[in-house]
Structures are given as C-alpha cells and as structure tokens.
Amino acid sequence: MSRKPTNSSQNKEADNNTEDQSVGKRKFIFYKYSKDISLAESILIGGNLPLFLQISNGKAILRDNIDLDRQLILPPDKTEYLSKDYSFSSIDEINFYIKRASKETLDSLFVKTKNIWKKYFDTDKKTLDLCAADTIFTYFQDKLGMTHYLFFVGDNNTGKSNALSVLEQLAYRPLKDVNISPANIYNFLGQEEEGQGIILEDEIDDIEEQPEKMKIYKSGYTRGSKVTRMYDSSASGVNKSKPQKRFNTYSFKAYTSERQPGFYKAKGFVERIFPIQCTAGNPLFDILEVVNDAGDKKYKKLIRELEDLRKLLLIFRVMHYDEPIPDLNLSIKNREKQLCKPLIRLFQDTNVLKDILDSLSKFIADKRNRKLNSLDSFIYSIVKDLAKENNGYRLTNEDIWEIVCTLPGNAIPSKPHSYQTNEFGTVSKTLISRICEDKFGAKREHDGKHRILAFDNIGLKRLEDNYLPIKQIEILNKSKTNTINTINTFWKHIESKSDIQTKNQRTKMDQISLNLKESKQSNLENTNSIPNNFDKKTNEDSDKVLEPLKVLKSALHNSEKERESHYLIYLNSHKRKENSETSQGQAADDYEIPYKKPFFFCVEHPNIKNIHREEIVRHIQLSDLHKKVDGKDFEA
C-alpha cells in the first residue's frame, strides 16, 4: 500500500490531513486500536511490512488497515516508530507465540519477568517484585485506566539508568529519551485512543523548573486527562485558522534522577511516584553491554531472551485484552488507593499477589513516613494538641506560631514573621495559615483582637488517617463469601459468646451439627462390621458427598478438639441432670430469665445469651457454673 511518509508516530492525520480522493476518508496512524473492534496491535512482518495483528479463536489475523466509516486507521511503518517495534518473521512465528501464550498465566509471566530483572538490576526483593509487576502492568494500562510512576533515584554508577533500560526492553511500547519536551509527549500519546505507549525519561533532575511538563505528569496518571493546544498542521507552518487540538496525557511513566523532586515545589508529582533508591550493586550483566553485543554469543543469547519475553507479553495482551478485570476494595483509600489498586486488581487471585501486596505496602509505608516528617504533619499535630488543651477548635495564628518557633532553627531579623527551621527550611505565618486553610479546612475569623483559625472537628478527625503509620495493605472483599461464618455460632446446648442472626439459620445449623455427631457415633459403633474388601469407590463417593460439610466444618472458629470437648461436657451434664434434684424440682417457667432484644440471658452470667429461652434454662439446669453437690461446687 503506497502512502506518503509522516513525521508523527501516531494519531496524526496522514497525508497532511488531506482527504483520500479514492475513498473520501482521512487517514490516521495508530500503534494500537480497539474502539468497537477486537484489539488490533501494530507489528512489522519481516522487519519492514507494517500490519495490524488481531487474534480470533486462537489464530492470528493480519490486516494492513482498519476501515471505519469516516477514517482509515493505518499501522506505522518502521520509520515512524518512536518506540521499540514488535517484529515477527512471519505469521507462523505469531501462531507459535499464540500457542505458547495460551499456556501462560500472570504467575508464570511474573516469574519470567522477575528473573530477567534480577540479571540486570541488583536490588532488594520488594523492589524487584514491583518492577516485574509494573512491567506486565504496562500491557494492560489502557484497561485499568490509572497508574503510579516509578522514580529511580541515585548517584552516578548506581544502576538507575540500567533499570530504565530494562523497562525499555520489556515494557509496552516505551518512548525513552532525555529531556522529552511537552510537544514530544503530545505527539507520542496522540489525540484519540489512550494508552498508545509508555514514557521513560532519563535524568529528570530539574522537573520543578519545567511547569508545563510538570502539569502533564501530574494529570497523566489517569485516563481521560487531556491538554488543549493550538495545532498547526500546515507543511509551511502557516495556518490562519490554527485549530485547537486535545492531546492525551495518560500513560505509565518512569524516570531517573540524582535527587528526588522538592516536596513543595512538585508536591502533586511527588504524590504520584514510588521513589526507588538505587545504590551501587553487582548485577550479573550490564544491560547496556548486552544490547550493544558487538557479536558476542553470550550477549546475543540474552538479547533473544529479552525479545522473546517481550513478544510473549504482547501476544498475551492481545489474547486476554477483552477479559473483564473485577473490582475490589482495599484497606487504603484516596491517593494511596489510586497508586496501588490498578496493580492489585490485575494480579488478584494469583499466587504472587501476596508478594505484590508486600511490595506495595513497603512503598506506601515509605511515602507515609515521609509525609509524617513533613511540615503539614507537624502543623496537624500542633492543631490537634492545642484544640484538645483549649477544649475547642478556634485557635489564633499566634498560638500555632509560638510552637513553630520552638523548633531548632534561627530567627530572621529582617523578616519578623518568618523563621528558619533546620528541618523544614523557611517557615512564615502566611505559610502556616495557608496550610491550615488548604489542607485542614480552617476558616479565617477575627475576634476584634486576634486573627482566628476556626477548624471543623469532624474534618480534622477525617484527616487523622493521613498522618498515621500504615500497616499491610489488605483486600477487604476478596470474595462474596468473605463474611462472618455463622454455621456453628451456637453449638447445640453449648454456651457461647457469639451472636446469631436468625432463628431459621440457628435451627438448620444445629441440625447439621447434630447429624455430624450422630454420624460419627454410628461410624464408631459399626467400624468392626466393615468388610476388609470395602469398595474403594464407595469411599470416594462418600468423600464427595461429605465434602461440602467438610468445607463448612473447617470454617468454624473453634477447633475440632474444642467442639468435641464441648460435646463431652454436654453429655456428662445431661447424665448428671437425671441425678439433680434441683433441676428436677424446678419448672422451666420458674426461672428469672431477663430479655434484651434479641437475646435472653443468664442473670449470673450475662455473657451467656441466646435467642431461645429454653437454652438459657438448659444452661442453668446443666451448666457446671450453676451445679452444686453437697453444698460444694461440682467437680467433673
């Protein structure tokens, strides 16, 4: 298919936005397309032929374009790629990878990916787990629609750039560069379908001094974020109309730097990153030497390994792209949830989920600890303490300022309303008021003598979780059955402190429990009557029948031994009942048994309660707690 070359990698109208005279459709170039069709990924066949790949019923379908009503979608040719291309020798090679990918899982891919990371990045386990998981995540970023960023920070010779190079070799369609301009980002991420690739920027030390790019990175963590710009599409650079265009900003991103960005100058950006501290290590291989192999056989083998996994991940993506990813609830919320939830959703129900939760918990804890050591946290603690002491939430600016000035530091003679702290730098009264208003919701008032900051009690309490250390991240609704198990909440005739929800539930559960006991007793009595050649299949069938009961039984909060012990106590009590003159001589209606909806309970032992009055009567008649023999406590 003949076409004019374009300078844009994607989303830019081909042929300078002129309409195709033969079909009357405009041409667009995309790396991938999925609107109202099965996912189509651009690839190269034989290293040069640009095609779209789709997979249907386990077979590869190759197309040279996607013909829509008003536009023609084309794959980029080799010269138009800004990211590393996916190249296959033939359709047979694609089908070979389809067959392999059909046997892969997220668990197996995670292990493969992590093993490669180990070869080139010498760091701790939790960091490797995060890097491996994020590598796979990039292939599903457009489905999950939200992401965190990785920020590799360290001095020279610490391997931070090598980590970025591993992502370049394995992750989904990376644009890797130094000093990427906003225009580069707009052109790469395009205007139409989001998630066309990821961005890897090396040496981003001065990000605080690049306000436009900072805004892109601050907003580009979630799908739907756009930037509107004037767009000149004329070849000569002259276009009187200069139409406005809206460009995408969403994608996974990773960076390297010799230092972390300033917390206050780049606060929104800092809250989106997981900093990874890089130190000098001793990796098995230098990835820069591997990709520049100079014909070395060992390095060529390693390159093939990288390329093989990369192709496998792409095919796995195309095969599983349309599968739903269930939602879940986490023990964290707000910004921290946004950073972690997409990755946890992707890997839910996998064997490696625990490792990923451990890793994310560690990085969230690091971020939380940094926040706990911030000026915001310090001011919050002051406000809480002063409000408690003054029994109110109306504080003067001076009250807060006096405590700030007790921090280690020095007064600034030329600036009486500022103070140079050793920990937080220069702090001013204006900054304190701004933090109280913007972060803690305070409102300015005046009592005629002093400026007052009025805080909302409920609002302050809601903020408390933000300034507490975090523990392990947990999934709150792992499954629909993750509820309190009430099967044995009230074991028949056994005293319990647990609650029960309905009478019907209690009746059914008691019957199941009683049947289990009777079945167990019957089996014991008939053990000797079982022939030696008892049919093995009968045992297997019996196991299948009893399997649901075994599952329910294992879910009980008391152990089997405890239940058997309770049952024996009940039997002994039942036997003693026959010899108990007290029990025989007093009618059930004579007992004083209080009722507090929905439970009856024992006067002497209020923790013993039940929805059935007769159970409390039975407790009084049979329990060792009430039994007396010859004026002394009965001893079993």
* CA pair distance 556, 563, nearest whole angstrom: 10
Q: Is the pLDDT of residue 348 over 70?
A: yes
- The pLDDT value recorded for residue 586 is 53
Residue 475 maps to a domain = no
Q: In this structure, which amino acid lies at residue 243?
A: P
Residue 317 maps to a domain = no
Question: What total number of domains does the chain contain?
Answer: 4
- The pLDDT value recorded for residue 328 is 93
User: Are 341 and 382 contained in the same domain?
Assistant: no
For the ranges 101-110, 356-365, 553-562, which has the lowest average pLDDT?
Answer: 553-562
For the ranges 120-129, 436-445, 570-579, 618-627, which has the lowest average pLDDT?
Answer: 570-579
User: Are 252 and 362 contained in the same domain?
Assistant: yes
User: Are 144 and 208 contained in the same domain?
Assistant: yes
Number of helices and strands in the chain (H, E): 21, 26
* CA pair distance 195, 173, nearest whole angstrom: 10
- The pLDDT value recorded for residue 566 is 44
Which segments of 405-502 does DSSP mark as H helices, in order?
Answer: 429-438, 457-463
User: Are 166 and 264 contained in the same domain?
Assistant: yes
Mean pLDDT of the 509-524 span:
51
Would you call 136 exposed, middle or buried from its count of C-beta atoms within 10 A (0-12, 13-18, 19+)?
buried
Instruction: Please give the residue that has the higher pLDDT: either 429 or 542.
Output: 429
Of 263, 244, 72, which Cα lies nearest the Cα of 151? 263
* CA pair distance 463, 461, nearest whole angstrom: 5
- What CATH number corresponds to the domain at position 434? 1.10.10
Mean pLDDT of the 355-372 span:
89
What value does the mean pLDDT of the chain take? 78
Mean pLDDT of the 195-214 span:
91
Q: Is the pLDDT of residue 340 over 90?
A: yes
User: Are 339 and 415 contained in the same domain?
Assistant: no
For the stretch 60-70, pLDDT in tens is: 999 999 998 88
- The pLDDT value recorded for residue 90 is 94
Of 319, 320, 290, 284, which Cα lies nearest the Cα of 306? 290
User: Are 188 and 126 contained in the same domain?
Assistant: yes
Q: Which residues contact 423 (CB under 8 A, 6 or more apart)?
A: 373, 407, 408, 409
Instruction: Please give the residue that has the higher pLDDT: either 570 or 113.
Output: 113
User: Are 405 and 418 contained in the same domain?
Assistant: yes
User: Are 49 and 113 contained in the same domain?
Assistant: no
For CA atoms 27, 31, 35, 38, give the dihedral sign.
positive
- What CATH number corresponds to the domain at position 136? 3.40.50
Please report which confidence band the pLDDT of residue 584 belongs to, taking 50, 70 and 90 as the band edges: very low
Q: Is the pLDDT of residue 27 over 50?
A: yes
* CA pair distance 205, 8, nearest whole angstrom: 28
- The pLDDT value recorded for residue 124 is 94
Instruction: Please give the residue that has the higher pLDDT: either 76 or 613.
Output: 76
* CA pair distance 469, 71, nearest whole angstrom: 53
* CA pair distance 107, 104, nearest whole angstrom: 8
Q: Is the pLDDT of residue 221 over 60?
A: yes
For CA atoms 594, 596, 599, 603, give the dihedral sign.
negative
Mean pLDDT of the 239-266 span:
82
Torsion of Cα atoms, 397 then 398 then 399 then 405, to 10°? 110
Q: Is the pLDDT of residue 113 over 90?
A: yes
Residue pair 393/460 in contact by the 8 Å Cβ criterion: yes
For the ranges 169-173, 347-351, 372-376, which has the lowest average pLDDT?
Answer: 372-376
- The pLDDT value recorded for residue 394 is 82
* CA pair distance 368, 464, nearest whole angstrom: 12
Q: Is the pLDDT of residue 513 over 60?
A: no
Percent of the chain with pLDDT over 90: 41
Of 307, 319, 250, 236, which Cα lies nearest the Cα of 56? 319
* CA pair distance 542, 179, nearest whole angstrom: 69
Enter the tokens of residue 137. Answer: 């995540």
* Residue range(s) defining the domain that contains residue 53: 14-101
- The pLDDT value recorded for residue 151 is 96
Instruction: Please give the residue that has the higher pLDDT: either 153 or 479.
Output: 153
Please report which confidence band the pLDDT of residue 233 belongs to, taking 50, 70 and 90 as the band edges: low
Enter the tokens of residue 120. Answer: 């080139």
User: Are 110 and 97 contained in the same domain?
Assistant: no
In degrees rounded to 5, what are phi and psi of residue 443?
-120, 140
For the ranges 189-198, 442-451, 515-524, which has the lowest average pLDDT?
Answer: 515-524
For the stretch 431-454, pLDDT in tens is: 888 888 888 888 888 877 778 888
DSSP-assigned states of every residue in 509-568: HHHHHHHHHHHHHHHHHTGGGS-TT--HHHHHHHHHHHHHHHHHHHT-SS-HHHHHHHHH
Residue pair 325/117 in contact by the 8 Å Cβ criterion: no
* CA pair distance 1, 64, nearest whole angstrom: 8
Mean pLDDT of the 10-25 span:
49
* CA pair distance 33, 36, nearest whole angstrom: 9
- The pLDDT value recorded for residue 539 is 46
User: Are 134 and 18 contained in the same domain?
Assistant: no
User: Are 80 and 110 contained in the same domain?
Assistant: no
Instruction: Please give the residue that has the higher pLDDT: either 15 or 209.
Output: 209
Place of tokens 């919320």: 333
**Among residues 59, 85, 101, which one ends one of the domains?**
101
For CA atoms 380, 381, 383, 384, give the dihedral sign.
positive
Please report which confidence band the pLDDT of residue 585 belongs to, taking 50, 70 and 90 as the band edges: very low
Q: Is the pLDDT of residue 206 over 50?
A: yes
Place of tokens 């249907």: 56
* CA pair distance 390, 175, nearest whole angstrom: 56
- The pLDDT value recorded for residue 45 is 95
User: Are 41 and 78 contained in the same domain?
Assistant: yes
Mean pLDDT of the 262-275 span:
85
Enter the tokens of residue 415. Answer: 């600036």
- The pLDDT value recorded for residue 454 is 86
